[in-house]
Chains A and B, each alone.
Chain A
């Protein structure tokens, strides 16, 4: 469960987002859409508490921004599956190891990590690339490693920032099907930020539209 209540955040050197209020229920699939620079990534960063609101508050999985101390932020993040717009893979780790990192962080056993990593990589169609390093993978393949890393721990909430930005239409649809499946069958809450409206029209799921830092309704 995610809730924004009158959230405002302005960057020191740039715009930001203003008076944002919305709610995403458990098991819901939501598309956060808007043009480039609208504030989609900013809203996701507020959700995983990389940024803290200057006004208003954000609540995620029971963590409230105004009450959550810096040192509890990692606890929140362990309940989240994050796909970053710029992937953020570890350059000196192969696909397998990259997907395994969040699982090591939550302290799973080696055996369980193995199973989950392979199944996540299979879900995104990368079973053949497990031992390749990011520099040996195409942009789309790197993006899929990032997606596998986010879903491997079976998180309560998945926040995906342009998860299909580098994928062709066919694979993009497969990824969206996967995310839809995780929401419907697994009860995960899924938020997908994208500037691509065509993507959203082909899938069920609620739209939250944003432009110039403000929600449209």
Chain B
């Protein structure tokens, strides 16, 4: 059993080596597919990260009645915590508000007016699952109805825009990915089929000598796996190389770096293997059909 397995494994490796040209074709097809996929994956995950960085966009600013003292405002602030969909809150007392004002506008209100007219306030971050324009809207409305709250501000418009782009990006990416994948399966099995055509006689002979279809298929599967791994390594190399170039260019201008998603190698290699195996099994199916084996 073990010797049979090792024989079949070595048969697979060997036939890959013998048919270098057709196998180069299908390996490159796999590599190209994965390149498109890997690229899309990198772009999407960086986009996702960038939008998450814009977390401030999911921030709601609250202003309390200026007539309330810090303590009174804090009591109102406590009620915010019970609202659903909020991940963290921060209280800003009147003095802190004056500091922020000074930072942003360069004027010290105390010096100018002799008194601090600024209201106490609060900052609320919307929790992950609630970051849609509609839900943020609802949270803001709820906050606005709390007595003592005079004003609620958030950048709803921006949230909506981000949302729209994210949606387009995700659905677009999915659609493109699906088309690419279907095309790839077709292309890969066709290129592999070419290399199997050359082995038609071998398949017939093996069958005549008592090989089961499983036995005949196995080396082709090994070949598919190897092609998948090879193709994904090539694609991975190119993606990483491109990332380095892009980052090198970006470095000259901005502080932003494009990151390589940590799952990328795993994803590409497993997708490569799946593509190779599906390609092989699809293309060999016809030749292993009992109707096509032997004399008619």
**Residue from the list A84, A104, A106, A110 in contact with B208, Cβ < 8 A:** A84
Contact with A along B35-69 (1 / 0, CB 8 A): 00000000000000000000000000000000000
- B142 in contact (CB, < 8 A): no
In the complex, chain B residues 199-238 whose Cβ is within 8 Å of any chain A Cβ = 201-202, 204-213, 215
| Cβ contacts under 8 Å, B209 to chain A | 77, 82, 101-102, 105, 149
| Cβ contacts under 8 Å, A149 to chain B | 209
| Cβ contacts under 8 Å, B117 to chain A | none
**Residue from the list B3, B4, B7, B295 in contact with A50, Cβ < 8 A:** B295
Q: Which of A12, A90, A149 has the most CB of B within 10 A?
A: A90
In the complex, chain A residues 72-92 whose Cβ is within 8 Å of any chain B Cβ = 74-78, 80, 82, 84, 88-92
- B79 in contact (CB, < 8 A): no
| Cβ contacts under 8 Å, A138 to chain B | none
- Asked whether, in the complex, the Cβ of B210 is within 8 Å of the Cβ of A74, the reply is yes
- Asked whether, in the complex, the Cβ of A74 is within 8 Å of the Cβ of B18, the reply is no
- B290 in contact (CB, < 8 A): yes
Q: Which of A82, A101, A109 has the most CB of B within 10 A?
A: A101
**Residue from the list A74, A84, A90, A108 in contact with B212, Cβ < 8 A:** A74
In the complex, what distance in Å separates the CA atom of A167 from the CA atom of B32?
53
- Asked whether, in the complex, the Cβ of B210 is within 8 Å of the Cβ of A102, the reply is yes
- Closest CB of chain B to A143's CB: distance in Å? 15
- Asked whether, in the complex, the Cβ of A45 is within 8 Å of the Cβ of B295, the reply is yes
Which chain B residue shows the least CB distance to A48?
B208
- Asked whether, in the complex, the Cβ of B3 is within 8 Å of the Cβ of A75, the reply is no
In the complex, what distance in Å separates the CA atom of A74 from the CA atom of B296?
17
Which chain B residue shows the least CB distance to A111?
B3
| Cβ contacts under 8 Å, B295 to chain A | 45, 50-51
- B112 in contact (CB, < 8 A): no
Q: How large is the interface on B (under 10, 10 to 19, 20 to 34, 35 or more residues)?
A: 20 to 34
- Asked whether, in the complex, the Cβ of A50 is within 8 Å of the Cβ of B210, the reply is no
Q: How many A-B residue pairs have CB under 8 A?
A: 60
In the complex, chain B residues 269-296 whose Cβ is within 8 Å of any chain A Cβ = 290, 294-296
In the complex, what distance in Å separates the CA atom of A74 from the CA atom of B295?
15
The B interface is mostly helix, strand or loop, or mixed, namely helix
- B179 in contact (CB, < 8 A): no
- A67 in contact (CB, < 8 A): no
Q: Known A48-B208, A90-B202; judge A107-B1 contact (CB<8 A).
A: yes
- A70 in contact (CB, < 8 A): yes
Which chain A residue shows the least CB distance to B215?
A105
- Asked whether, in the complex, the Cβ of B3 is within 8 Å of the Cβ of A74, the reply is no
**Residue from the list B201, B206, B290 in contact with A70, Cβ < 8 A:** B290
- Asked whether, in the complex, the Cβ of A107 is within 8 Å of the Cβ of B208, the reply is no
**Residue from the list B18, B206, B208 in contact with A92, Cβ < 8 A:** B18
Which chain B residue shows the least CB distance to A81?
B209
In the complex, what distance in Å separates the CA atom of A12 from the CA atom of B135?
73
In the complex, what distance in Å separates the CA atom of A75 from the CA atom of B215?
12
- Closest CB of chain A to B64's CB: distance in Å? 80
- Asked whether, in the complex, the Cβ of A107 is within 8 Å of the Cβ of B3, the reply is yes
**Residue from the list A51, A75, A89, A110 in contact with B210, Cβ < 8 A:** A75
Which chain B residue shows the least CB distance to A93?
B202
In the complex, what distance in Å separates the CA atom of A48 from the CA atom of B205?
13
- Asked whether, in the complex, the Cβ of B208 is within 8 Å of the Cβ of A90, the reply is no
In the complex, what distance in Å separates the CA atom of A70 from the CA atom of B208?
12
In the complex, what distance in Å separates the CA atom of A12 from the CA atom of B213?
26
| Cβ contacts under 8 Å, B204 to chain A | 88
Q: Known A74-B211, A74-B212, A80-B210; judge A90-B296 contact (CB<8 A).
A: no
**Residue from the list A48, A51, A71, A101 in contact with B206, Cβ < 8 A:** A101
Which chain B residue shows the least CB distance to A69?
B290
| Cβ contacts under 8 Å, B296 to chain A | 12
- Asked whether, in the complex, the Cβ of A105 is within 8 Å of the Cβ of B208, the reply is no
In the complex, what distance in Å separates the CA atom of A104 from the CA atom of B111?
96
Q: Which B residues contact A (CB, under 8 angstroms)? A: 1, 3-4, 7, 18, 201-202, 204-213, 215, 290, 294-296
Q: 17 A-B contacts, Cβ less than 8 Å apart?
A: A12-B296, A50-B294, A51-B294, A70-B290, A71-B213, A74-B211, A77-B210, A82-B209, A88-B201, A88-B205, A90-B201, A90-B205, A101-B209, A102-B210, A105-B209, A106-B210, A113-B3
Besides A77-B208, A88-B208, A105-B215, 10 new A-B residue pairs in contact (Cβ under 8 A), listed by A number: A50-B208, A50-B295, A71-B213, A77-B209, A82-B208, A88-B201, A88-B205, A104-B4, A105-B209, A108-B3
Q: Which 10 A-B pairs have the closest CB atoms?
A: A77-B210, A78-B210, A107-B4, A50-B294, A70-B290, A74-B212, A104-B7, A102-B209, A74-B210, A105-B211
